[in-house]
Amino acid sequence: MKKFPTKLWWDFFYSKPNQLNFTHICGMENFIYNGKIIKEQTTIIGSDNRGLRYGDGLFETIKIKNGKLILEDEHFARLWKGMAILQFEVPRHFTPDKLKEEITALVKKNAHEGAVRIRLNIFRGDGGLYDAKNHTPNYIIQSWALPEDNGEWNSNGLVLGIYKEARKACDILSNLKHNNYLPYVLAALKAKKEKWNDAVILNTYDRLCDTTIANIFLIKDEVVSTPALKEGCVAGVMRKKVIQEISGTGCQILEKEISIEEVLNADEVFLTNSMYNIRWVKQLQEKEYRSTITQKIYAAIIPTI
């Protein structure tokens, strides 16, 4: 089985720890906690925190390129929808514009230039399961510089496997990027052990959902398909962009139920993610794929972002 394209790729997308003191990684010297810029290795939450106890929160990852937040409206719309579903009480002053200002300040403080990865984590404060002290969002903003070749076409292709030990439920939480991420965590551990670049996540009906860090698309007879949102996948921002762009060309794209057999019989497979845009999958289990149409989709969409 082929190994990862580079160690950096794996380390960056799978090995970001959620430690309470945020150890130094990829040049992150500071982070923001509830509006304040704080030095790394600073303890900020205690053992009564509901985010730590129950995974009571959600997160958003946004790419900045040359000072611009990419697809920012879609990211903040998804975040606000998620906070509503999780029943946060959002203060009037807590707005996308406020967060954008703080993100900009943090990137400047950390001296990050070019492409930057932002992770915005929202979580409830202290309290037990039935007695939260309040429902105001607490938040952490982190930033990391991305490699210079971030988002470029991956000519070597990715090698994937299918993770079957845990399934993802299809419910009101499925489309969110929430902090209860155990199926993805376990699948990533499996992928690292098996030396895959990523692992396909299945839903409780044994159909395709997404992967540990991306949405999945397949191409068969020039028709593009991706799991429908009701199938439990994360409502990816780049997923939405790709669907819109392909639909605008008049080409056929379907959001549907996709079986394991169907993806193994596909002509091409690719992944989408806000950080690396579009990635071609060369191999899933023993099946190998072409990249002809995927390259055309990449060339048509990525320069417009």
DSSP states along 251-297: --EEEE--BHHHHHT-SEEEEEETTTEEEEEEEETTEE---HHHHHH
CATH number for domain 158-304, candidates 3.30.1330.10, 3.40.190.10, 3.20.10.10, 3.40.640.10 = 3.20.10.10
Mean pLDDT of 248-268: 95
Long-range contacts at 79-82 (CB < 8 A, ≥ 24 apart):
79/120, 79/122, 81/176, 82/58, 82/122, 82/176, 82/177, 82/178
Confidence of residue 27 (pLDDT cuts 50, 70, 90): low
pLDDT at 19 over 50: no
pLDDT at 51 over 60: yes
Compute CA distances 14 → 87, 96, 164, 186, 225, whole Å: 29, 27, 19, 11, 26
Tell me where in the chain the CATH 3.30.470.10 domain(s) lie. 7-145
Q: What is the pLDDT of residues 204-247, one digit of tens each?
A: 999 999 999 999 999 999 999 999 999 999 999 999 999 999 99
Question: What pLDDT sits at residue 28?
Answer: 60
pLDDT at 200 over 70: yes
Residue 13: closest CA among 234, 226, 187: 187
Q: Which CATH architecture has domain 7-145?
A: 2-Layer Sandwich (3.30)
Q: What is the pLDDT of residues 156-192, one digit of tens each?
A: 999 999 999 999 999 999 999 999 989 999 999 999 9
Residue 52 and residue 180 in contact, taking contact as beta carbons nearer than 8 Å: no
Question: What pLDDT sits at residue 250?
Answer: 83
Question: What pLDDT sits at residue 266?
Answer: 98
pLDDT at 9 over 50: no
Q: What is the pLDDT of residues 28-43, one digit of tens each?
A: 689 999 999 999 889 8
Tell me where in the chain the CATH 3.20.10.10 domain(s) lie. 158-304
Q: What is the pLDDT of residues 65-104, one digit of tens each?
A: 989 999 999 999 999 999 999 999 999 999 999 999 999 9
The amino acid present at 223, given as its one-letter code, is V
Cβ atoms < 10 Å from Cβ of 3:
11
